Structure 1
Amino acid sequence: MTETRQRPTGWLRQLMPGFDVAAHYQKSWFGKDVVAGIVLSTLLVPQGMAYAELAGLPPITGLYTTVLCLLAYAVFGPSRILVLGPDSSLGPMIAATVLPIVASDGDPQKAVVLASMLALMVGVIMILASVAKLGFIADLISKPTMIGYMNGLAITILVGQLPKLFGFKVSSEGFIGGVVGFAQGLAGGEAVVAAAAVGIAGIVLILALQRWLPKVPSVLVMVVLAIGATSLFDLADRGVSLVGELPQGFPPFTIPFLEFSDFALMFAGALGIALVSLTDTISTASAFAARSGEEIRGNQEMIGIGAANLAAGLFQGFPVSTSGSRTAVAERSGSKTQLTGVTGAVLILLMLVLLPGLFRNLPQPALAAIVITASISLADIPGTIRLWHQRKTEFNLSLAAFLGVTLLGVLPGIGIAVGLSILNIFRRAWWPYETVIGRVPGVEGFHDVHFHPDAKHLPGLVIYRFDAPLFFANVRPFRDNIRRLARTEPKPRWIVIAAEPITDVDTTASDVLLELDQELNAQGTSLVFAELKHGVRVKIERYELTSQIDPRHFYRTVDAAVAAYMAETGAEWSTGE
């Protein structure tokens, strides 16, 4: 009876980690969580509004999104420290998905509905991926391609915000169109001097405070000064656009509707957003967990992100992700649990209910300044330079992802980033590193001739290493390499495969190996295997390969194979070996 009652509780705590935190909450944490929540809220409000506009949505939707995702993640999220919310990396992806549909329909209000539906779709994708234990999907984007993607995203966001920073609008789309439109606007005298002054001063102030006074809430300081400047210098009369009065009251519960004809584009966008959000969350969670000693629960993180997106989507919000900067603020402020995020959400709700006009005099160029400084943090120039110096191939992958985002757009860019990462995996498995190894004077074992050109070889013996599993896609290049070695002069009597790096052999590779052995035998060359892993040996025995290839041609070590060759042929190492 007792056992039956305990099972649902354990199941609920596993599904909703927030219950477990509440059950073990310590009184000493309360003050720290509340103070951290108050500090965090000063960042959540201006960033929420700024990132909503980045996504092409009204500023109020950023606050609705922030409130709901914080409350949902506090219940379903496994991390005690992560802060979710509107994100600069997702804003352009949301806009790229939603705005083309809105433009074709001609109804600007439809953008909010579509963004909410997009959040619901991302939430469902995340939860289904968690049920299927697909957390490994986050690994589909390699670090070099992610660096390139983020660099492209940073410059795309920057160019897209420049007209707003200077107080005018452009109708051109895309990176190239944005650059041309901005240049034409400046040349045509459309820039508002007061708007540019506010925006540029805001960027300088935020960057300066982040550089020299990192503990000072730079965004809050800039926002307060910008609001003060509005009254002091009558910025509205000087042509500067203001945020205006926000709608009063709680986030409205709304069930969004999606027309079937829009489903394909929305689903593609949701997949891309889900992938970027998951990758960002796992990497951020890993970084902060390493400091606190927590374990990463990837599948539960997907449920947490999914729940946050579902909650936001039902209250006129849009897709969310983890914010490294806001999480860092919460951590530096002493946050112990997700009560920090709940405190921030409650304060935003109080503002919406009691003080909706608090940010009415906030200049729009100040929001652009917030977005631009966030975009600068997305770029990783030192990482790009390091790739150039360390590995040109991965630098080229990064560059291709960068060009994909800037020239083709954000959504195609994420597709290119994923595609390049997958192709890079296949490239490494398809054309893995392969080499001949030999004996180096004064060094134990056998070593790569590319790094040791002075390596010695026994007459008639070639030792070949192939650094990958053998499967249908790479077994033919493997066969061609062996054939090439068999044609060298003097003609080898044995070709020994140093098979320790070969972690698998599929049925296609097994058939090719048998054909290759028969072909070499006819030419007077024996194919010999050394250091086969036990699991691989079991597989090739199941394929009956060991019964068809001479059983004597399988050795536990390369040294054993070399000793057997010397005993059979009488070959000897040269003097001193």
Structure 2
Amino acid sequence: MLSDLLTGIIIAAVSIPISMGYAQIAGLPAVYGLYGSVFPIIIFGLLSTSRQFVFGVDAAPAALVGAALVTLGVTPGTEQAMQVVPVITFFTALWLLVFFLFKAGKLVNYISTPVMGGFISGICTTIILMQVPKLYGAGAGTGELFELVEHIAETIGDVNVPSIIMGLTALAVLLVSRRFIPKFPMAICVMAAGALLSCVIDMDEYGIVCLSEVSRGLPQIVVPQIDERMLPNIMTVSLSIAVVIMAETLLAENNFAQKNRYKIDDNQELLAFGMANLAAAFTGCCPINGSVSRTTMSEQYGGRTQLTGIFAGVVMIVILVCGTGFIGYLPVPVLTAIVISALYSALEFDLAAKLWKVSKVEFYIFCGAFLGVLVLGTINGVLIGIILSFAAVIRKAADPPRSFLGLVPGHEEFLALERFKHAYPIQNIVIYRFSSNLFFANIAIFQKDIMDAVQDDTKAVIVDASAMGSVDVTAAKTLRIMYDTLKEKGVKLYITEHIGQLNVQLRKLGLGDMIEAGCVRQTMERALSDCGLESPYPLVGVHNSYHDIRRKRAEHMAQELVWAFGDDAEDVIEKHIRESIGSMKNGTGVEQLMTGFWKQMDIQDEEEWLEHMEAHIEEIVRATGEDEDSVAERIERRRSQLLHRLESEHPEFVDRYKARRKRMDEHLKEHNPAAYDAIIRLREKEHTKEK
């Protein structure tokens, strides 16, 4: 708490020149900057989920309000401006509360780290350029890069030597102390030294500017008076200001939260923004925003909680009530050095250097956001960064990692042929891994890779779709064309290793018949087995392969039919059984029916299939002319084989299998008592024989 208190004092002191200057930019008397640093900051501190972020009168909203006054024909600093500005602040607060109700804070989740880094660096650089003229005795600049550079060029000829010596000395002390004693509150010492120096010498004699004195007293409650003639323009202006506050502050808050490893509630922050701006409106102030410079300073000097902002608000109350005389002794160059020092430490050019080494694309995104903010302003910089981020996402998705797979003799996994020189493809089989969702931007690459790889002797194409979570309409249409083309060539197409939800999408996109034809399999081994191949597989250029990749996994008991057809699995089974019964002739068809329509079925799937057959025993008897006991005996014989196979391959699932068998018997008894009686008679007969 002590560090929060000391940091709060620093923040309050530094807020004095910053807030007064921005209030004047917004067209208000300077003292209103101090008013905006009292109740709005305290309310934000009570509502915010950020541990460290500081709210206050800041550059972007102030500049937008100042520009809006010109558009509205209002002269800054006049009585009319003091009436219009709180109305703009009031509607800005209402817009922020609307954003809160609609949970618009989630939008920040779509902004990447390079965008955040470029955005913060752009804002910091902009404010530094605004502050630089104050080091040598000129007024602060406004606008974006070109206006700021032009202002510096115009004022640099009138440099006040004592001012720049004082400012640069203070800046050097702060930068050096941050390097060697970062936790020491050097800002307070530098500020106190500047005030003492003002007491000892006459600053006016040396041309060094000090802050203007302000009248004592707390802000009075102001009820915004709405001029209906200006209301449409004010609504538009306040919306743009609210968007800037939301984007700028949420981005900066998330940046600090990521850096310091904590989470914030973006939507709760919008509530805090809105309520803080309501407080600003009713104290006659301009819209307020999150302050990167003050937050960076708070972080530098050990501020750990929102008590820092609350203490800063309380300190500002004390200053307004009984300490405004002190303000006149603060040299502007010293305070400017403190602000520049804080902003310098918030620059993230080290992130840019890292991105240059790791990812050139993300480096360019950083630069786009940085230059966008610096040259075009806050909101345009954010928009540029977001557009670049989405462009990078589409680019990555359009050209995803992909490879053809093979096997290394003696190893269990399928490996990329281009990366592993000892990996060999399986004879007559193309295995292709595609590590992305399949959609309009990358389906052409997918199609070209596969069709170019198919040779005259290719028997099957197996796609490892383990990283594929979705397929869009364009991709589904191309898959249909590929499937039909390959089928004409006698080549089977399999999609494997993917999640079951992808099968749901494929069915909705009209590719259900491909699934029923066995085009999807849970594993690559299943697809190879469906092609008639079992491990060890024949490899191109390798004799006597000794690898074995048969994986004993729980998925083998996961019912592949349910995975492939989802909730429609039972309906699909019923449909195929009825179709098969309809095509039977006397004395034939039972054995073919027992094999099912889905090759290489799981034990659980076969059990499911046999259960459905049991429910249709009477129809099978009528179609084939066989007696009921004979059909039931075949089903039971096959079921016994399945149990022996399970005991051999997966003994850990035997108890589960028997429990499920019991439930299925109860289901059969309820829905087809005659078939159930026939099965029970047969079992009792077999049991008697065994005795």
TM-score by length of 2: 0.69
Provide the residue aligned with 2:290 in structure 1: 321
Corresponding position of 1:349: 317
SS at match of 1:447: strand
Distance 2:118 2:537 in 1: 54
CA contact (8 A) 2:39 2:279 kept: yes
1: distance between equivalents of 2:102 and 2:486?
47
Worse-matched range after superposition: 373-382 or 546-555:
546-555
The corresponding residue for 2:348 is 380
> Counterparts in 2 of 1:432-471, with a 5 A limit?
432-441=400-409, 443-452=411-420, 454-471=422-439
Structure 1 stretch 199-208 or stretch 94-103: which is displaced more? 94-103
Match of 1:490 in 2: 455
| Aligned positions of 1:220-369 closer than 5 A | 220-254=188-222, 255=224, 259-261=231-233, 263-285=235-257, 290=262, 296-315=264-283, 316-321=285-290, 324-325=295-296, 328=299, 332=302, 341-369=309-337
Tell which structure's C-alpha radius of gyration is larger.
2
- 1:319 alignment partner AA: I
* 2:124 is equivalent to residue 154 of structure 1: yes
The residue type equivalent to 1:496 in the other structure is I
Distance 1:362 1:560 in 2: 79
1:77 matched to 2:48 = yes
* 1:521 alignment partner in structure 2: 487
Matching residue within 479, 501, 507 for 2:467: 501
Query: Could you tell me which amino acid in structure 1 is paired with residue 31 of structure 2?
Result: I
Alpha-carbon distance in 2 for matches of 1:54, 1:455: 67
> What is the one-letter code of the residue matched to 2:107?
I
Residue 382 of structure 1: CA displacement? 1.5
Instruction: Name the structure 2 match of 1:141.
Output: 111
Equivalent residues of 1:64, 1:317 under 8 A apart: no
CA separation of 1:84 and 1:308: change in aligned 2, threshold 3 A: farther
The structure with higher relative contact order (CA 8 Å, sep 6+) is: 1
Which amino acid in 2 is paired with 1:501?
A
| Aligned twin of 1:93 | 60
User: Residue 565 of structure 1 aligns with which residue?
Assistant: 531
Partner AA of 1:73 in structure 2: F
Cα 1:115/1:106, change in 2 over 3 Å: closer
Offset, 1:134: 3.5
Q: Which residue of 2 aligns with 1:200?
A: 168
- 1: CA distance, partners of 2:422 / 2:87: 65
Summarize the alignment of residues 393-404 of structure 1 with structure 2, pairs less than 5 Å apart.
393-404=361-372
CA shift in 2, pair 1:357/1:281, >3 Å: same
Distance 1:36 1:92, change over 3 A: closer
Structure 1 contact 49–59 (Cα < 8 Å) conserved: no
Q: Higher mean Cα deviation, 504-513 or 194-203?
A: 504-513
Distance 2:422 2:454 in 1: 18
Q: SS where residue 463 of structure 1 aligns?
A: strand
User: Which secondary structure state, in structure 2, belongs to the residue aligned with residue 567 of structure 1?
Assistant: coil
2:97 to 127, 132, 155: 127
* Rounded Cα–Cα distance in structure 2 between residues aligned with 1:461 and 1:166: 75
Distance verdict in 2 for CA 1:67–1:273, change over 3 Å: same
CA contact (8 A) 1:149 1:405 kept: yes
Give the direction of change, closer, same or farther, for the CA distance of 1:65–1:117 in structure 2 (3 Å limit). Answer: same
How many Å separate the matches in 2 of 1:519 and 1:365? 76
CA distance in 1, matches of 2:265, 2:254: 9
Q: Over residues 520-558 of structure 1, what are the superposed CA-to-partner deviations in whole Å (9 max), with x where a residue is unaligned? A: 323443321111201222332344423245522221112
Q: Which amino acid aligns with 1:538?
A: V
Q: Distance in 2 between matches of 1:431 and 1:51?
A: 49
Structure 1 residues 300 and 109, CA, compared in 2 at 3 Å: closer, same or farther? same
Q: How many percent of aligned residue pairs carry the same amino acid?
A: 23
1:566–1:572 contact (8 Å) kept in structure 2: no
1:37, 1:342 within 8 Å by CA — same for their partners in 2? no
Compute the displacement of 1:359 (Å). 0.8
Contact kept, 8 Å, 2:298 with 2:308, in 1: the verdict is no
Distance 1:324 1:565 in 2: 64
Q: 1:183 matched to which residue of 2?
A: 153
List per-residue Cα deviations over 1:257-300 (Å, max 9, x = no partner): 5653354454234313211212222443466574xxxx744432
Contact 1:529 1:555 in 2 (8 A): yes
Rounded Cα–Cα distance in structure 2 between residues aligned with 1:63 and 1:163: 22
Structure 2: runs of 5+ lacking an equivalent? 548-691
Task: Find the aligned partners of 2:337 and 2:404 in 1 and give their Cα distance.
Answer: 57
Q: State the aligned residue count.
A: 529
Q: Give CA deviations for 1:439-487 in whole Å, capped at 9, x if unaligned.
A: 245543123345335532123322222222234x33xx32443234313
Q: Is the 8 A contact 1:206 1:219 kept in 2?
A: yes
**8 A contact 1:440–1:447 mirrored in 2:** yes
- Aligned pairs for 1:57-68 (under 5 A) are 57=26, 59-68=30-39
SS in 2 for 1:108: coil
Deviation per CA, 1:82-117: give whole Å up to 9, x if none.
353237xxx442244233334454622277777655
Once the two structures are superposed, what CA deviation does each residue of 1:147-167 show, in whole Å capped at 9, x if it has no partner? 222223333222222222211
> Is 1:428 matched up with 2:400?
no
Pick from 514, 532, 553 the counterpart of residue 498 of structure 2: 532
1:546 aligns with 2:518: no
Alpha-carbon distance in structure 2 between the residues aligned to 1:317 and 1:381: 32
Match of 1:478 among 443, 446, 449: 443
**Change in 2 beyond 3 A, CA 1:392/1:340:** closer
- Tell me, in whole angstroms, the C-alpha distance in 1 between the residues paired with 2:485 and 2:273: 57
Structure 2 residue aligned with 1:7:
none
The answer to whether the 8 A contact 2:528-2:534 is kept is no
Shift in Å, 1:411: 3.3
SS at structure 2 position matched to 1:444: coil
| Equivalent residue number for residue 511 of structure 1 | 477
Aligned-residue Cα RMSD (Å) equals: 3.3
Q: Give the aligned residue type for 1:541.
A: R
Task: Indicate if the aligned counterparts of 2:116 and 2:251 stay in contact, CA closer than 8 A.
Answer: no
Query: Cα distance, 1:327 vs. partner?
Result: 5.0
Partner residue, 1:21: none
1:481 is paired with a residue of what secondary structure? helix
- Deviation per CA, 1:97-145, whole angstroms, max 9, x where unpaired? 2333344546222777776556545543443333333332122321112
* Contact residue 514 and residue 549 of structure 1 kept, 8 A: no
Kept in 1, the 8 Å contact 2:131–2:140? The answer is no
Instruction: List gaps (5 residues or longer) in structure 1.
Output: 1-31
Evaluate the alpha carbon distance shift between residue 65 and residue 444 of structure 1 in structure 2; reply closer, same or farther with a 3 A threshold. farther
Aligned partner of residue 470 in structure 1, secondary structure: coil
Deviation at 1:388, TM superposition (A): 0.8
Please, which moves more after superposition, 254-263 or 402-411?
254-263
Cα distance, 1:423 vs structure 2: 2.8
Contact kept, 8 Å, 1:129 with 1:302, in 2: the verdict is yes
* Contact 1:116–1:319 (CA under 8 A) maintained in structure 2: no
